[in-house]
Amino acid sequence: SRQINLASRPSGWPTPDDFDLVEVDLPAIQEGQVLVRNRFMSVDPYMRGRMNDVESYVPPFRLGEPLEGGAVGEVVESRAPGLEAGDLVLHGFGWREQVVTEAARVRRVDPIEGVSPSAYLGVLGMPGLTAYVGLLDIASFKEGDAVFVSGAAGAVGALVGQIARLKGASRVVGSAGSDAKVARLRELGFDAAFNYRNGTVAERLREAAPDGIDVYFDNVGADHLEAAIERLNNGGRIAMCGSISAYNATEPPCAPRNLFLAVGKRLTMRGFIVGDHSSRMRDMIAEVGGWLREGRITADETVVDGLENAPAAFIGLLRGENTGKMIVRL
C-alpha cells in the first residue's frame, strides 16, 4: 500500500521535496481491528503548521512517518463487532491508500443519496462545523447582523456566508483571491464580494460594506483583519478562525495596526479551535445537512485525483487553487 511521508520540514513555502511517496507492507489485521481502503482524503491549511517542529494544539507530523488527516474510506475486512466490509468510515489516517487500525479509531458514516462521501470531509465535517460554530457560537451571530468573511470562496468561508444568509444577515460580504471566485460568491448569494488583489482590502471593504459590519469571520489575518476592525460597528464581534496569510511567512505580519479601535468600539475578538466543539456536530449536521438536501446551500469541491498528487493539492490549497473544499480522490 502507498503512503506519503514527511521527508523534510519546510521553511516558508512547502515544496514537493518535503514529501515522500513510499510503498509499505500493511500489518496483519488483529482482533478488534479493521482494514480500510481510503476513497477520499482531505488537505487542510492546519497541516502546514503540523509540518513545523513546534508545540501547538496538535502535535507536529514526524519526519519519515506518514502525514495524517481526515479521510473517508471503505472497510475491506473487519475483525470488530459493529463494522463490516463495505461500510463507509471517517477517520484520521489520510495520506495513505489503506490502513489497518483499531475499530474505535474510525467512525461509521451513512452514505447520503446524491451527496459524495467526501462531504464528510467538508460541509458535513470539520470545515462545516468550523463555519457553524465560528459564526453562531463564537461570533454570536444574530439576525440582522452584517457579516464579512475572508477566504470566502474556500471550504469554511463559503459556508459561513451561506449560513449567515440563511439565518437572516442584513448583508453578507466576502473576499477572495480571483475574479472567478468573486463571481462564484455572487452566485452563492453573497450581497457583495471583492478580489483582495485589486487595490487595498481597506478600500474594497469600504465600498462593499458602506454601512459597516457587525461580524468579521477571519480566515486570513493581517490587512484583512485591519480593514475589518476599521469597518466594525460598535459592539462588533470577530471570530478568529485562521490567519492563512501568515502560514508560510518567515516574519510576523505588521497588520493590524489599529487594534486600539477595539476599545472605543467595544469589540470582542475570540479565537477558537473546532476540535473543542464536537458537541455541536449533531446540530450542525441536522441543520446544514437539511439545507444541503433541500438545495439551499451549495458546497463546492475541487477534486484532485491520485495519492501521488496529494502534495500538489496541498500546496495548491495554500496558493488558492481550490474553490470550495480541496479533496484528493484515491
**What are the residues binding ligand NDP (CB under 6 A)?**
44-46, 127, 130, 151, 153-157, 176-178, 181, 219-220, 241-242, 244-245, 272-274, 317-318, 320, 322, 326
Burial 214-250 (b: 16+ CB within 10 A, else e): bbbbbbbbbbbbbbbbbbbbeebbbbbbbbbbebeee
Nearer to ligand NDP, 158 or 267 (CB): 158
CA 286/CA 291 separation, integer angstroms: 9
DSSP class of residue 27?
P
What Cα–Cα distance (Å) separates residue 329 from each residue in 7, 24, 59? Answer: 22, 20, 26
Q: How far is the CB of 19 from ligand NDP (least distance, A)?
A: 19
Q: How far is the CB of 68 from ligand NDP (least distance, A)?
A: 15
Q: How far is the CB of 129 from ligand NDP (least distance, A)?
A: 8
CA 93, distance to chain mean position in Å, is 17
Locate 95 and state its grid cell. Answer: 495520506
Nearer to ligand NDP, 63 or 273 (CB): 273
Nearer to ligand NDP, 156 or 285 (CB): 156
CA 94/CA 46 separation, integer angstroms: 14
Nearer to ligand NDP, 267 or 317 (CB): 317
Q: How far is the CB of 274 from ligand NDP (least distance, A)?
A: 4
Nearer to ligand NDP, 45 or 73 (CB): 45
Q: How far is the CB of 308 from ligand NDP (least distance, A)?
A: 21
CA 234/CA 231 separation, integer angstroms: 10
